[in-house]
Chains A and B, each alone.
Chain A
Amino acid sequence: EPEVTQTPSHQVTQMGQEVILRCVPISNHLYFYWYRQILGQKVEFLVSFYNNEISEKSEIFDDQFSVERPDGSNFTLKIRSTKLEDSAMYFCASGGGAGNQPQHFGDGTRLSIL
Chain B
Amino acid sequence: AQSVTQPDIHITVSEGASLELRCNYSYGATPYLFWYVQSPGQGLQLLLKYFSGDTLVQGIKGFEAEFKRSQSSFNLRKPSVHWSDAAEYFCAVGAGGAQKLVFGQGTRLTINP
A102-B103 in contact (CB<8A): no
- State in angstroms the CA–CA spacing of A100 and B95 once bound together: 10
What size tier do the contact residues of chain B reach?
Answer: 20 to 34
- Chain B residues contacting A33 (CB-CB under 8 Å) are 100-101
A91-B103 in contact (CB<8A): no
B44-A91 in contact (CB<8A): yes
Among B41, B46, B98, point to the contact of A31 (Cβ < 8 A).
B98
Tell me how far the C-beta of A33 lies from the nearest C-beta in chain B, rounded to whole angstroms. 7
B101-A103 in contact (CB<8A): yes
Residues of A at the B interface (CB closer than 8 Å) are 4, 6, 30-31, 33, 35, 41-45, 48, 50, 56, 58, 91, 93, 95-108
In the complex, besides A100-B96, A103-B46, 18 extra interface pairs with C-beta distance below 8 angstroms are A42-B90, A42-B106, A43-B101, A43-B103, A45-B100, A45-B102, A48-B99, A93-B44, A96-B97, A98-B97, A100-B49, A101-B97, A102-B34, A102-B97, A104-B46, A105-B46, A107-B41, A108-B43
